Structure 1
Amino acid sequence: MNKYPPESLEHDTRLKAVREVCRDRKIDVAIFTSPENIFYITGLDYEGYFATHALLVSIHGGIILLARHIEAVTVSRQTKGVEFSGYSDTDDVAALITAKIVSLAGERARVGLQRNSAATVKIDTPLQSYLPKANIVDVSGIVESLREVKSHFEIEQIKRAAAISDLMISTGLSVAGEGVVESNVAAKIYGAMIAAGGQSPGFPPFLRSGDRISEPHTSWTDQPLKNGAPLLLEMSGCVNRYHAPMARYGYIGSASAAAKRLSEVSHQAHLAALAALKPGCLARDVYSAWKACLDSAKVRPRAGHCGYMVGISFPPTWTGGPGVQSLHETSCMEIRESMVFHLLTWVTDERNDHFLSDCVVVEKAGAIFLTRSSRDIFEI
């Protein structure tokens, strides 16, 4: 019988992998600052990441988390093998980090600093000043690259999130209709999400109608849904910080023949991208298969990609934090088994829009849908 739950064993494996990469790069101490990377290594899942966090990983065995003093109880309960170092709101956080680095590896250490995170801005320049004899290098991408291929445990969390995503969509469709206020639809979606065991997702559920369809990151208002107006529902369940985004599109009342044609084009391009998403291909190959389908139908994409990798995320996004990996026309990213994507098609024929997306996982034989709601254009 395991001494720790599966996620604890996951974190042990992840920490070992991070240290191996650091050794290969001759890094004595690595500092990670983004919530997604800190969660990946330690399992710390809470709302305290608005303040500066610095996770110090020594190749010699020490792992120290600097965060505000008030977070000590949460950190001790949620993490294993992590030394907590609290700071007050008046402390010089960079100076405290410097002292920890020196204690772990000395003044001449080769220090890795995650520089692609906004949280690093406050400490980067001071660290260089406080450690003039150290060699500070950028380690952005070390943890992100390890997060690309999901373990069995991670995929199970995403499957649970996908089931909640489907429930959120079906709830929205069951409530929406002419005269129903958008915020009331959102309230029912949130209720279903929480009752099913979902956490607060990185993005709120996106619910847009009428002339707000082309606003990619806005959500509900206090306005009623109008007959003949388009309606977009894009949302994600979240379980243990793992996301499974999806979107469905339709109309309040009847859809025009042109809108239905655009829906069919969108669906076919979606399936073309899914079919191309196989281990060994490149991201640009997936984009090419998708774009060729749109070009043949003389339909223009609104987005410059047909999806992006998903998994661990914290607000304000479900895209995984710094270093989003998308399926675009120049990407040389190799597709590997157990990668997970938000596969999407957002298109326009200049008169109508259509948006369709799903969470998909890459298996040995190719990608499969994890979100399962009907992909047909809806009319309610």
Structure 2
Amino acid sequence: MSRDVFDQSEYERRVNRTKARLREENLDAIVVSDPANMNYLTGYDGWSFYVHQAVIVTPDADDEPVWVGREMDANGARATAWLSEPNIRSYSDDHVHSPYDLHPMDYVADVLEDLDVEDGRIGLEMDASYFTAKSYTRLQENLPEAEFEDRTLLVNWVRVKKSERELEYMREAARISEVAMEAGLETIEEGVPEYEAAAAISEALITGTDAFGGDYPSIVPLMPSGDHTGTPHLTWTDRPFEQGDPVIIELSGCRHRYHSPMARTTFVGDPPAILEDTAEIVVEGLEAALDAAEPGVTCESVEKAWRDTIAKYDIEKEDRIGYSMGLGYPPDWGEHTASIRPGDETVLEEDMTFHMIPGIWTDEVGVEISETFHVTSDGAETLAEFPRKLFTT
């Protein structure tokens, strides 16, 4: 189970770094509701984020985090988290979709009172996917003396530099990405329904390699095709692939919730010159940006290497071309911190990890060729080993 994924000492280091941030920001507690952050701090791993749950951290040196969740999920916390029994707290099932005007945040408020912070400064992940507006108002109603502060990214920034064990899992996820991408490319051909390619990819993502299996990724395989390759976040349909179809595949292997995304583009038949030329430009720009990535440079300077490259071909792209990522749960494997884009002055540090996806989408064509990379003392280490080119079937 998850308690075997990392040594307890690694979790304790993570918690201590988080507590140091709380002290720096003069917070009496933080209520963590992002499931990736919950996992990062405690090891808790369950598909329970569709109901309200949280991990509460206080700055007191000797205090463990407190996991709070649905009663039926408490055994999941016991099975996967490193926490001692008193720090696994659960609310009764009548708090879920309650006909009695109960809400899980009523119980979270009780736990905060037990921790003597009911009138303190409490950080909340206000922009986390599973922290709702009602969660906020119920906490306010229950703890009127508390001062709530938005600290959505506090733990995310603690996560941004990876340990060697985290990097090991991301490298294993890269091996799964390679297998899954190969499965997708081998399945796509004229007459094959799009869903068959998605099924082949999904099977490979779970089956993994001969050495280890895969977990469910935070994002399903993305497969825009035909006229829709300029729309990057479409999935699949019943439509059979046709001669002349470009197809983009974006996927990620997942190992103990750690990801290594990769995107490639293929074509059913003989590709037109404009698609071949665009793919070559994407590869050239991607490699220029990877060459620029090293400790001490800023995210925006890495993006500039890409932008300067494509400018030679009179192409402009305003979107970001990458983001920090690693540990994740649906709906996203990104960390929501550093982005490789103009204006982001985040300085790259050793052991940061990014997904660099400098696609070009126009009214005529769409091409995605991406890499996950690790910032090392020598520059960018790409985690996957897969040809950077336009594929054909």
Normalising by structure 2, report the TM-score: 0.91
Compute the displacement of 1:349 (Å): 6.0
Match of 1:95 among 92, 106, 127: 106
Match of 2:158 in 1: 146
Relative distance call for 1:273 and 1:74 in structure 2 (3 A) is: same
Compute the displacement of 1:195 (Å): 1.4
Compute the displacement of 1:367 (Å): 0.6
Match of 1:168 in 2: 180
Compute the displacement of 1:315 (Å): 0.9
- 2:290 counterpart of 1:288: no
- State the one-letter code of the partner of 2:319: G
Compute the displacement of 1:98 (Å): 2.1
Contact 1:262 1:349 in 2 (8 A): no
Compute the displacement of 1:287 (Å): 1.1
Compute the displacement of 1:95 (Å): 2.6
Contact 1:299 1:348 in 2 (8 A): no
Task: Provide the aligned C-alpha RMSD in A.
Answer: 1.8
**Is there any run of 5+ residues in structure 1 with no aligned partner, and where?**
none
Contact 1:113 1:140 in 2 (8 A): yes
The alignment of Structure 1 onto Structure 2 pairs a total of residues equal to 375
- 2:336 counterpart of 1:334: no
Match of 1:230 in 2: 246
Q: Tell me how far apart the structure 2 counterparts of residues 107 and 193 of structure 1 sit (CA, whole Å).
A: 45
Match of 1:158 in 2: 170
Compute the displacement of 1:151 (Å): 0.8
- 2:292 counterpart of 1:276: yes
Match of 1:75 in 2: 77
Cα deviation digits, residues 197-248 of structure 1 (max 9, x gap): 1111011111222012122211111111111211111110001111111111
Compute the displacement of 1:59 (Å): 2.3
Match of 1:297 among 301, 308, 313: 313
Match of 2:125 among 96, 114, 117: 114
Match of 1:35 in 2: 35
Compute the displacement of 1:35 (Å): 0.8
Cα deviation digits, residues 70-122 of structure 1 (max 9, x gap): 10111111112251221222333333222221221254323222222243322
**Is there any run of 5+ residues in structure 2 with no aligned partner, and where?**
none
Contact 1:262 1:348 in 2 (8 A): no
- Residue aligned with 1:162, SS: helix
Ranges of 4+ aligned residues in structure 1 off by more than 6 Å: none
Match of 1:180 among 166, 180, 192: 192
Match of 1:257 in 2: 273
Q: Tell me how far apart the structure 2 counterparts of residues 119 and 203 of structure 1 sit (CA, whole Å).
A: 16
- Residue aligned with 2:66, SS: strand
Q: Tell me how far apart the structure 2 counterparts of residues 63 and 85 of structure 1 sit (CA, whole Å).
A: 11
Q: Tell me how far apart the structure 1 counterparts of residues 5 and 196 of structure 2 sit (CA, whole Å).
A: 39
Compute the displacement of 1:156 (Å): 0.6
Compute the displacement of 1:369 (Å): 1.3
Q: Tell me how far apart the structure 2 counterparts of residues 273 and 51 of structure 1 sit (CA, whole Å).
A: 41
- Residue aligned with 1:221, SS: coil
Normalising by structure 1, report the TM-score: 0.93
Match of 1:86 in 2: 90
